[in-house]
Amino acid sequence: MGMGVDVRQRIAKRAAQEIQNGMTVNLGIGIPTLVANYLPSSIKVMFHAENGILGTGPSPQQGHEDANLCNAGGYPVTINPGASYFDSATAFGIIRKGLVDVTILGALEVSETGDLANWIVPGKKVPGMGGAIELAQKTKKVIVLMNQVSKNGQSKILKQCRLPLTAKGCVDLIITEMAVFKVESDKLILSEIMEPYTLKEVRASTEADFEVAETLLTVK
């Protein structure tokens, strides 16, 4: 089951609701990079990139890229007024000290207790783990954006992760094209279902056990 453009945008739009004014936010590669497009202009945040920028802005328009300005994924970025540059060691110091409020990242698998596997599929080439381990362990809130199931139809929300872990018990919120799950006290709680999906479909696509929130929302 592939992921259409509108599905990716929908997940990113929902994730943007978790960002509040004044936060320092780190966006991973993939769907998380789209989140910045859905922040209302009233919300001012500092986007942090592991390669040494605090205060990245939206993607530049074609032809206006600055060859010296890119994010941790190597994609061109702009900067907002008040942005600062520093070396990678300082960028990681900011993460390790717990100064990042929210990190939004992709995942290969998440367990029902919030374990995260997102950096390697054994036997496949990887670009490296980047800042994922530090971000997952040290950020105040960790949000995962991903497909509910893998390309071959297997649930990505598992009782236990099968792939090597990035970090244990670090995930606070999972947003997929089907649903939103909170991880609280080592338990998964289904808090929102995205239309047109049903609770039955969410159960069928989720290997992990989960509780259903008393105030289960259906999101259009």
How far is CA 36 from its chain centroid? 12
**Which amino acid type is present at position 31?**
I
Q: Check if 207 is active-site.
A: no
- The DSSP 8-state label assigned to residue 205 in this structure reads T
3 state SS of 103: strand
In contact, 29 and 126? CB cutoff 8 Å: no
92: β partners:
none
Q: How far apart are CA 149 and CA 1, in angstroms?
A: 8
DSSP 74-97: S-B--EEEEEEE--HHHHHHHHHT
Q: Which of 18, 50, 112, 177 is catalytic?
A: 50
Active-site residues, by number, are: 50
